[in-house]
A and B are shown apart, each in its own frame.
Chain A
Amino acid sequence: MTSAPENSPAKGKVYPSAQAALEGIADGASVLVAGFAGCGIPEKLLRGLAETGVTGLTLICQGAWVPKEEVYGVADLVSNGQVKKMVSPLPFHPEHGGPVKEMWESGKLELEVVPQGVLAERLRAGGAGIGGVFLPTGAGTRFFEGKELRPFDGKEHVLEFALKADFALLRAKTADTLGNLEYQGTGRNWNPTMAMAGAVVVAEVDQVLEPGGVDPEVVITQAIFIDRLVLSA
């Protein structure tokens, strides 16, 4: 979505640290955070985001709950008081609760709960230049309330608008220096969709190879979507 390539070939896309890779992020930014059930979470970038100290963030993500306590995630940023709002299909685990629940209950955090497929489709629309989509899921529920409805083939549909964000933080297994990405297992999750919907897209990866190191048939996210890379270790 940037109008010109952010980095000259000479400068390259690989940044020395998470904080460097987050240069330009400001208070009030909207940030897409990939990750699902503990897999594919850009932990180093989230730590870097904490270190920047920016506040008033809107985080768009699966949710805050991860099965392993040692994983640094969205909940930690919320605990830090850096987050104003979360847009998520499962903001916290209903039984385990946690910082998101506590901050929400004390009125310090706004939550927008969106069905998973609706969020996915809104981001995909944002990334693919689609203005809005008519979706059938959630007819007759609160997810249709206050929105524009229209029948198609005799079934009620809701108009959902495209969603984009200022930054996207991704986690992949392998990149080449151009930014072509491969994922591992269910670490793929939100990453490819979010890669298309962020203005500045930063990917944290295990390794960076030379161009040609990632097989063109198995590239999942193409380099044109990636602005910055940082090594996870």
Chain B
Amino acid sequence: MPGTPLELDSVARRAAQELFSGAVVALGPGLPCRLPSGLTNGSGVWLVSDSGFLGFQGPDTDAADQECQPVMMLPGGAYTGVVDIAGILRGGHTDVAFLQPAEVAANGDFVHWTTGATQGLFAPGPAVDMAYGASKVVAVMSHQRPDGKSNIVERCSLPVDGAGQVDLIITDVAVMNAGPDGLELVETAPGWTAEEIEAITDAPLAVSSAVKEMTFQVPTLEMPNKVYSSAVDALKDVPEGATINVDGFAGPGGMAHYLMVGLRDLGVKRLQLISNTAGVARVSAFGAPNVIDHSILVENNQVAKATASYPVSPSASRPSAFEEAYNRGETELEVVPQGTLAEMLRCGGAGVAAFYTPTGAGTLLAEGKEARTIDGKEYILETGLRADYCIIRGHKADTLGNVVYKGTSRNFNPVMATTARITVVEVDEIVEPGQLGPEEIVTPGIYIDRIVLRPADFSAYL
């Protein structure tokens, strides 16, 4: 006789072993919601609920997770809306997604929440986004239905919500890899043999040579340190030819001057800047001739290309450093309208490959681009834009990387922060988690990789 299936809390505890320090973790409805209670303090990871939580634990009465159980925001947690959650999930910002599918196939196909009574109508909810965007997708579920039918199948019997996306299945009797090679049994619940598990699994099950018994120790996790000692320290791995998002609206506000100086001091070449301007603060009425802007990188021969909406000086008699370099044939330039640039970045960060925008249609900016009429209006196709690095300017950050801005220095910073592989923020003040309120955080810490304090004696003027 096989053993009894595990309690669901034990399944959640085993699932917690898939977490690692600093992981961004998407939780689907159902069993995955038990994970927070299985975690010591819920700390060391970012739990993401599609209802709009980032960084939580239970319980609280003011808020509800996607299973409508009250949960509690941890210090450093933030609230956000559904469209931003969709961007987090689709844009590849999550490391692990936990789902409770109704059915998983050996190849990783899955059917999300459904019941016998609702066959033909399905509840994809957030599962489609979660399964697509996460680096690893873990199904946590009962191995069998109450009637004894296997939830693990060779081929799904209902239309699927994700094709080939489940990587690991954790049930109340076993842990299995899923994928193109089919199922592989890697762990068995206490009291169960591989043969007994195979007998209740409705798909071919290979047994790993390293198969072992499941354990239920919850790992101790800590948030990795994000605070760097200096701009140079935070940027020293920027390679030659990197694409870099730099905020820089016009005047000095919102620009990461200290990080720009660090980039200049590192001397890394052939940079491709993505920025609203290509450095006009010095030559515009907003700035002063000695204010730090992109020009310090241009003058140091570090810039190979700019993608910008204001690449040149507003004054023909006072050309910017970038303009002069461009006229000498030393740099490339891609001119993009401001709103299109913002949308390209937003799409890049949110995992949207391309979009039809009406702005620029019928102008020089539309040349060479696909045009399309939708509901009688002309649009052009633009694609999402991502970067290798992003340097942004916040007002305050907590040590988890949550950022608030000040006034219009917000401008491109929040959207740029979502698009880069490595995002570095420069702030006036670094505070402890909890000191920035969950309702006021503009850029959640999941987007921020490195934090540097702008030294109190640092001047934005050369």
Which residues does A use to contact B, with CB under 8 Å?
Answer: 36-39, 62, 66-67, 89-91, 93-95, 97, 101, 104, 111, 113-118, 120-121, 123-125, 128-143, 152-153, 155, 157, 161-162, 182-186, 188-193, 217-218, 220
Contacts and interface: CB of A to CB of B under 8 A. Distances in A.
Interface in B348-372: 350-359, 372
Contacts of B118: 94, 97, 101
B162 interface: yes
Interface of B: 49-53, 62-68, 73, 79-83, 85-86, 89-90, 113-115, 117-118, 121-129, 132-133, 159-164, 343, 347, 350-359, 372, 374-375, 377, 379, 383, 404-407, 438-440
A141 B128 contact: yes
Contact of B83 (A97, A124, A182): A124
B357 A131 contact: yes
A101 B114 CA distance: 13
Contact of A131 (B64, B90, B353, B372): B372
Nearest to B116: A94
B83 A192 contact: yes
23 contacts: A67-B64, A90-B113, A90-B124, A94-B114, A94-B115, A95-B115, A115-B125, A116-B86, A116-B126, A118-B128, A121-B86, A132-B356, A132-B374, A135-B353, A137-B90, A138-B161, A140-B160, A143-B124, A162-B374, A183-B439, A185-B438, A189-B52, A193-B81
A111 B124 CA distance: 13
B124 A116 contact: yes
Contacts of B62: 184-185
Contacts of B383: 152
B164 A140 contact: yes
B90 A135 contact: yes
A155 B163 CA distance: 13
A206 to B, nearest CB: 13
B107 to A, nearest CB: 11
Contacts of A62: 82
B354 A152 contact: yes
A185 B350 CA distance: 22
A117 B126 contact: yes
B25 to A, nearest CB: 17
B388 to A, nearest CB: 16
B80 A37 contact: no
A93 to B, nearest CB: 8
Contacts of A123: 83
Contact of A186 (B51, B121, B343): B51
- The winner among B66, B67, B439 for most chain A CB atoms within 10 A is B439
A25 B159 CA distance: 37
B34 to A, nearest CB: 16
B128 A137 contact: yes
Contacts of B68: 37-38, 66-67
Given A130-B357, A152-B353, 4 more contacts: A111-B121, A115-B125, A137-B90, A141-B161
